[in-house]
Structure 1
């Protein structure tokens, strides 16, 4: 198998909950010897134009992407759309719908946090953290830190925002079949993001992926932070059995997060890897 160029197919900018602007992200990717990168902001394509210009200037190949929040049997999943066409007309209404859902959820999170004694202006502080990007729980974590309520963003999730905590507010996200459909119509591949992060046993995860394959998903992300070599092997066997593509990415958000670095994730060698599709393009 030929040596692959440096690549990273999962990262976030200030268009959603990342700490770096799209152009800053491209510059950091170049420094990390990444030659193919996918910008996959949460529920928005807003950063792609800036990233594309920066990639053109730097001689780096940008793979337009997005990470869609969606539902499968009432369970929240994250679906990567890789190689999408940002100019596909259907994205405009889809993005507007997701933005409205995020604003509504943010207001609910703020009310629940204030009821637990955090400052009354927490929503304004979170919006300031989000800037022009899509607001999400990481912005509330930074707001709680800035307000002196917690000593770290991790503490914010442990006490207020993590699963089962007051700020863990659900939203009526689109069904995953709808998410798969718009990714396909816009020319992209639909990939289940970080499959080991959904608190499922491997038996249940195998069933989930099998059901998603029936719904038309193209593949699963295998090379991602904190996945073990044993998990890589198990996920590869699932991909082989179901004839699915595989993908890899750092899920990079912030340079201060030491657990993830651009272009750094467990190596997964397989002819099924999506990077070969993008190289051929």
Structure 2
């Protein structure tokens, strides 16, 4: 699906007199997954814009020349495919889907019901209240926990591995892998900060 989307993005860019996008992106990615960021870097390198942000605004945002919407698989199928491949299904960066509290709870509930294994509860730039909300949902649905920076490339606002500490009462998803120790070295105040965070209604849109 990602390759088909990339092919369509390249076709639209070529129609706009920007040839060679797919070939350049495939040369960079190899066997990896293609994203809009790869096209953005190509467009910056070829002088179509001065920055990644400018490329997205001009070419790759919704409604622009190179934008192609994602064709998402349903949640149950995605979880099943991951399990069939021998993996564990993890719900990544749940706060980045622009859901209000009610729909966030529904997403996690549906994910757990589909057999999901873990959810990402800690990432940089979260508030203590946001971390507490995800922590609570993780415990309620008896999921294991993961952390992540959503790091794709060096930027000024997204640092690799910054502030990724789990509280003591969740089980890390990697505890089942036998590859590393049970948890990351934890900042002493990590659990205290979560415990002290003011409670909010997750039915309140944010």
Coarse TM-score class (shorter-chain normalised):
0.7 to 0.9
Give 1:193's match in structure 2, choosing from 79, 82, 92: 92
Bigger Cα Rg: 2
In structure 2, runs of 5+ residues without a counterpart are: 183-206
Residues 1:108 and 2:8 are matched in the alignment: yes
Report the CA distance between 1:238 and its aligned residue. 1.1
Other structure's SS at 1:154 match:
helix
Residues 1:124 and 2:4 are matched in the alignment: no
Which position in structure 2 is the counterpart of 1:267? 165
Give 2:51's match in structure 1, choosing from 152, 158, 162: 152
Report the CA distance between 1:118 and its aligned residue. 4.9
8 Å Cα contact 1:252/1:260 also seen in 2: yes
Higher relative contact order (CA 8 A, sep 6+): 1
Compute the TM-score of the two structures, normalised by the length of structure 1.
0.56
Which position in structure 2 is the counterpart of 1:135? 34
Which position in structure 1 is the counterpart of 2:75? 176
Compute the TM-score of the two structures, normalised by the length of structure 2.
0.74
Other structure's SS at 1:189 match:
coil
Report the CA distance between 1:143 and its aligned residue. 0.7
8 Å Cα contact 1:129/1:142 also seen in 2: no
- Aligned pair in 2 of structure 1 residues 189, 104: CA closer, same or farther (>3 Å)? closer
Report the CA distance between 1:235 and its aligned residue. 0.8
Equivalent residue pairs, number = 178
Which position in structure 1 is the counterpart of 2:147? 248
1:77-129 per-position Cα deviation (integer Å, ceiling 9, x unaligned)? xxxxxxxxxxxxxxxxxxxxxxxx222211211222344x3523333333333
Structure with bigger strand share is 1
In structure 1, runs of 5+ residues without a counterpart are: 1-100
